[in-house]
Amino acid sequence: MLKIYNTLTKQKEEFTPLNSPLVKMYICGPTVYDYFHIGNARSFIMSDIVRRYLEYKGYVVTFVMNLTDVDDKIIKKANEEGKSAKEVAEFYIREFFTDIEKLRIKPATYYPRATEFMNDMIEMIKRLEEKGIAYNVDGNVFYDVSKFMDYGKLSGKKTEELEAGARVEVNEQKKHPLDFALWKKAKEGEPYWESPWGKGRPGWHIECSAMSCKLLGESFDIHAGGHDLIFPHHENEIAQSEAANEKPFAKYWLHFGFLNINEEKMSKSLGNFFTAREILKKYSAEAIRLFFVQAHYRGPLNFSDELLQAAEKGVEKIQNLADKLNEELNKTSEGKKVNFNFEQWYKKFEEAMDDDFNSAQATAVLFDFTREVNRLIAESENPDKQFLTEAKSFLKKTADEVLGVVNFEKKEDLPSLENDLIELLIKIRTEAKQNKNYALSDKIRDELKNLGVILQDTKEGTSFKKVRK
């Protein structure tokens, strides 16, 4: 039985979809004005793993990740670079897709862009205005927080305390300090759309409400995002959506913890961040994913090269077993019968993931499994095909298809020219070692590793495997 910690109710709840086996899930995607940082990658990867595990459990998941392609930050970047906001957004959308593919994040069912749902946003704002919940001041439309009695139910914040808080920006047009923008009047030189309130563009919060309700329905199963989005973004989404539709919005709310550097939240505003693209140049996608899954998704996680290097070694242990299983299965002999209870390992993995996606415990199960299977292979010398096949199937279903921390692609699948060139470099390296030219030998090994080709020296010679870069 899968249990999920629901930020809305502040407790773990049994997961019961609104229309099982269908699951509708929405995650707040990037604002496309720059390459996303490794802290953003945590949310994207962990939501990917949640989605993968739901599919492993037999659910049919409609997964939506929005792209915010109209925003103050995009306009600022466009002005700095002398480009249009659309040009900036289009460039970073392309780069976003490049990076998430390298991180082995499964494509979403839909990637809605805010600019494509302008009519839906305007219609939702009009409904709120007709209900007396939104008000227009000179072309700026605001949401009246005092009209929504449940405001604060997600974050647990009280309106009186929030109004006294220094975080709330001062705007004399607002009736109340907490009221937020649904529609912003166009400023000179900014992109705009026609609306009943004049030329302007939507507020950030209304974008997600309109897109999620349009694609998933007015009530859906899971809404996910970073912990920093609980307030005000997700709180405001609830207020808008439930006031406009008079229905519960998302049933379960999942929030991913911060990624810290030196115990301080990683963010672009603080300038203490690395882009996912930069980290992918140093570490494999599998290592980055293992780094994330070895901590619980809700808790904070401290970033360091030492932890990523340890994750790379952890990936290597599981990957070596995956490669060994493939090699053993290619042997023609049947081998010796090995008795092994695979069912108990599936049970352990599922018990961990069923407990609020406890990927840290699930990963521990994978390492225990890897040690045990390696021991049995060594003891039996030539294990039977059924054992090998089932061991491979377990790793593929759990480590590969759910967590994405191992890669079952065979090196034979690489283009033959690439294979031949790698083998040539291995031959040159072997000759260099024989001639005691260790500097050249090490340089070839290190440069190949930087390209994602890992050399493995054994008594039989040197083999290689390619990891995703």
Place of tokens 């042997």: 331
Would the pLDDT of 320 be above 70? yes
What is the predicted pLDDT for the residue at 327? 86
- The predicted-structure confidence for 136-151, as pLDDT tens digits, reads as follows 999 999 999 999 999 9
Label residue 168 by pLDDT band (50, 70, 90).
very low
- The predicted-structure confidence for 342-386, as pLDDT tens digits, reads as follows 999 999 999 999 999 999 999 999 999 999 999 999 888 788 999
Q: How do beta strands 264-265 and 140-143 pair? A: unpaired
Domain ranges of the chain: 3-279, 305-400, 411-466
- The predicted-structure confidence for 456-468, as pLDDT tens digits, reads as follows 887 667 888 777 5
Please state whether the peptide bond connecting residue 202 to the residue before it is cis, i.e. omega within 30 degrees of 0: no
List the CATH code of the domain at 305-400.
1.20.120.640
Would the pLDDT of 180 be above 50? yes
What is the predicted pLDDT for the residue at 22? 98
For the chain, what is the mean pLDDT? 92
C-alpha to C-alpha distance for 79 and 54, rounded to whole angstroms: 43
8, 176, 252 from 13: Cα distances, Å: 11, 35, 9
Label residue 167 by pLDDT band (50, 70, 90).
very low
Q: For 326, what's the count of Cα atoms within 13 Å in the CB-facing half-sphere?
A: 15
Of 280, 251, 227, residue with least CA distance to 99: 280
User: pLDDT over 90 for what percent of the chain?
Assistant: 77
C-alpha to C-alpha distance for 307 and 315, rounded to whole angstroms: 12
Specify which residues 394 forms β-bridges with: none
Tell the CATH superfamily of the 3-279 domain.
HUPs (3.40.50.620)
Would the pLDDT of 166 be above 50? no
**What is the CA 322 to chain-centroid distance, rounded?**
24
Tell whether 234 is in a known binding site.
no
What is the predicted pLDDT for the residue at 468? 53
Tell whether 213 is in a known binding site.
no
Tell whether 81 is in a known binding site.
no
Of 341, 333, 264, residue with least CA distance to 301: 264
- The predicted-structure confidence for 395-420, as pLDDT tens digits, reads as follows 999 999 999 999 987 544 445 577 77
- The predicted-structure confidence for 29-83, as pLDDT tens digits, reads as follows 999 999 999 999 999 999 999 999 999 999 999 999 999 999 999 999 999 999 9
Q: At what angle do helices 285-293 and 305-329 cross, to 10 degrees?
A: 110
Label residue 331 by pLDDT band (50, 70, 90).
confident
What is the predicted pLDDT for the residue at 269? 67
What is the predicted pLDDT for the residue at 420? 79
Place of tokens 């302007």: 200
C-alpha to C-alpha distance for 424 and 415, rounded to whole angstroms: 14
C-alpha to C-alpha distance for 59 and 53, rounded to whole angstroms: 9
Q: What token pair was written down for 258? A: 């911060």
Would the pLDDT of 161 be above 80? no
Would the pLDDT of 86 be above 70? yes
Q: Say how many C-beta atoms besides its own lie within 10 A of residue 167's C-beta.
A: 7
Specify which residues 224 forms β-bridges with: 27, 254
Rg of the chain on CA atoms, in Å: 26
Would the pLDDT of 216 be above 80? yes
Domains 3-279 and 305-400 share a fold: no
pTM of the model: 0.86
C-alpha to C-alpha distance for 60 and 21, rounded to whole angstroms: 6
Would the pLDDT of 162 be above 90? no
- The predicted-structure confidence for 98-133, as pLDDT tens digits, reads as follows 999 999 999 999 999 999 999 999 999 999 999 999
